[in-house]
Amino acid sequence: MARAAVQRRLTWQPATVAQVRTETSSARSIVLDVPGWPGHLAGQHVDVRLTAEDGYSAQRSYSIASAPELDRLELTVQRVPGGEVSPYLTDIAEAGDRIEIRGPVGGYFAWRPESVEPVLLVAGGSGIVPLMSMIRGRAAANSRVPFRLAYSARTPDDVIYAQELSRRVRDDRGVDVAFAYTRGTPPGWPRPPGRLDAALLAEVGWPADFIPAVFVCGPTGFVEAAANLLVAQGHEPQRIRTERFGPTGDREAAA
Amino acid sequence: MTTDEREAAQDFQAPRPGDGWVDGNEAAGILQEIFTMDITTARGRCAGCGRVAPMAETRVYDHAAGLVVRCPDCDAVLLTVIRAPDRAFLAATGLTFLEVTLPETAGSGFTGA
Amino acid sequence: MAIVTRGFTGRGRRDVDLPPGQYLTDDFPVLSAGPTPRLNLDNWQFTVTSESGQRVSWTWSQLRALPSETVTVDLHCVTRWSKLGTRWEGVPVSTLLADVDTAADFALVHSYGGYTTNLPLEDLLDGQAWVAYRYDGQELAPQHGGPARLLVPHLYLWKSAKWVRGIELMHEDSPGFWEGAGYHNYGDPWREQRYSGD
């Protein structure tokens, strides 16, 4: 790894908000211009620091939503009620504002386009964000690796990237998406509201003997339950990579 | 936990939801400053129970006076990081070793022989 | 020099009457280095052990039968938040040490769950410390250290050990969990003794 690249990752870098985009009533995407950003691996995250005029600062971690690219990256942030940093990013930040980021961070929960095995993505709520980086990265790399996504959300209105996911299922060739709605379903939905369960995972996921790479992301409870279901279905624990968001005190879940 | 997060946690039946901890990916940023490399794939051996596992699988209590990284099996403290404005304190007495992947170079391997 | 972000103020308020580097908060943040111990009051015990091995113990009902005080104190956490005017009820540590025969200068405080913290014995006496079991008019909640925690408000809050289970008196100072990890051995907020070497 080039020394300069390593040192860049360790220091706070200025980032300018280039664009903001509403995703749902509680989530917003923020495109950041970061001169010299070397790109990242799909699934990695950054630390974000905000500093007030009197020097007070707060920092949180957010998963990168975009495919790897130079000089620019995108975050998707979900507003945590009572949070300190997320409400600023979802409600106040606008194009031209400056924040600081450090990273990219985390090589464990990452998908590399050189991989050939099929990929199973399991998302709970805002856990979709790093997995979306993988789906977007797959397209950017023109990868033919088959991807399947099981995405659990409360209601259809809570699904982030809904239109883009439909488009990719239609156009990207090799991406399949299935939803589980825990609180409210779309009209005509064949199943009542309910949590992601073994039956749905078996139906939409890869069989364990395909030896897929599995990435699970979401709130801690969701991740533990999903990982247990997957292991029960025969997936090797070492093939399942997990990333848990929150919840503790006022630590904010990454979107 | 906020109401939203509590509801989210109850949506998914978990045998034992995280009791204030998040997984080792969240320690990556601070540890990267000290180790100047991504530590999440490094494997550590717990001085308490002998478990060897990637740092990403540890339990990180990041809402304490400092960062506390615990063994997911036996809960022993593996390492702590205190971040002061201009320095950091790393205490790693709970790890008997840390194994880090490095690029292979010809003739590498120091045995002291 | 950090970039200042337009429109960001953060949650804390800053106030000039606080120890250096602190900001005022209305919340009571929960900081935890590990899982919250789930304790059974039937088994709960508080033990003072002297340097000679003498032990004095109280069960929960014995502790609650001791004369208690209600005090209002300010809390200063090394993570920079301060909470003023907090109301606690508990037993002064002096009461618990009254019948202990000791020439020790130092104390190591032990908590359920394995946490430890150290301080000079004299900092536990003379109205400076309590074993507290009620906060803000209610029984102390587990996430804030219940059923009982140590309360030593003149030092940074990491010295106010949650889920306290005993005090060990010692001739020599022995660093506790955070002191060994890099925080200051004494921790006076008014001299901003946060880190080792300060």
- DSSP code at position A197: -
Interchain pair B87, C181: CB under 8 A: no
**Distance to chain C for B58, nearest Cα, Å:** 12
Exposed / middle / buried, residue B86 (Cβ in 10 Å: 0-12, 13-18, 19+): exposed
The structure tokens listed for C44 are 């709960």
Interchain pair C35, B19: CB under 8 A: yes
- B21: which chain C residues are within 8 Å (Cβ-Cβ)? 35
Q: Which residue of A has its CA nearest to C31?
A: A249
A13 touches chain B (CB under 8 A): no
How large is the ipTM?
0.83
Give the closest residue to A252 by CA, choosing from A88, A95, A109.
A88
The structure tokens listed for A233 are 């279905």
Model pTM score: 0.67
Long-range contacts formed by C35-41: CB under 8 A, 24+ apart: C35/B19, C35/B20, C35/B21, C35/B75, C35/C113, C36/B19, C36/B20, C36/C113, C36/C142, C36/C143, C36/C163, C37/C111, C37/C112, C37/C113, C37/C142, C37/C163, C38/C142, C39/C112, C39/C142, C39/C147, C39/C163, C41/C147
Per-residue pLDDT of chain A (255 residues; tens, 9 = 90+): 445 555 566 788 999 999 999 999 999 999 999 998 988 999 999 989 999 887 788 888 899 999 999 899 999 999 987 778 899 999 999 999 999 998 888 888 999 999 999 999 999 999 999 999 999 999 999 999 999 999 999 999 999 999 999 999 999 989 999 999 999 999 999 989 999 999 989 888 889 999 999 999 998 888 989 999 999 999 998 899 999 876 432 223 332
